[in-house]
Structure 1
Amino acid sequence: MSDENADTHLSPHHRDTLEKILSHPVSHNVEWSSARKLLEAAGEVTVRHDGKMVVTLGGETEVFEDFGRKDLDTQQIVDLRRMLHAAGYGRTD
């Protein structure tokens, strides 16, 4: 998937969230609920019995805790950024 068209199916809200996740320096106002909706639009999200979310995006699978409505911390954003880049979203700076 190329960078030019990876995000063409995303809504404007999802694109805004994607830009916040991919921005440098790290944005500190990305809500988990917005990130989760982006992941649901871009890939497959299932919730396990223990409440953790299994996210499959671009052939890669990661397990995330549901952080509720709080903002993501720097490491969580870096992890999401890596996963999104690997799936062809965003830039590769």
Structure 2
Amino acid sequence: MNHKHTKILEKIFHHPISHDIQWNEVMKLFRGLDAVIEINKHSGKTTINLNDSSIILPKQTHKLVSNHKEVIELRHFFEKLNIIPKS
């Protein structure tokens, strides 16, 4: 994971919740972690498979992760995989 990936991860774990996280940054983070990314052509939902775990993300209609629930879901997914920023 490079410096940019670390910064994105820190944004995801920031308290209070950060509202300037871009979806393309999140996808770059997943790619940097060698995740398998599948986009459903019909629903637009994205399935991320990483280390035998998966998360289904909603259709990305905005540039930014649009609500705190999505940020919390990402946070929990990374916590489950023990991928957390170093403090």
TM above 0.5, one fold?
yes
Which of residues 30, 41, 59 is equivalent to 1:39?
30
Change (3 A) 1:79 1:71: same
Q: TM-score, normalised by structure 1?
A: 0.77
How many residues are paired up?
82
> What percent of counterpart residues are identical?
22
Q: 1:44 to 1:35 in 2, by over 3 A?
A: same
- Structure 1 residue ranges (4+ consecutive) displaced by more than 4 angstroms after TM superposition: none
Q: 1:52-63 to 2 correspondence within 5 Å? A: 52-63=45-56
User: Aligned with 2:26: secondary structure?
Assistant: helix
Unaligned runs of 5+ in 1: 1-9
Unpaired runs of at least 5, structure 2: none
1:32-89: CA deviation from partner (whole Å, max 9, x where unpaired): 1101111222222122222221101232112112415521121110000000111111
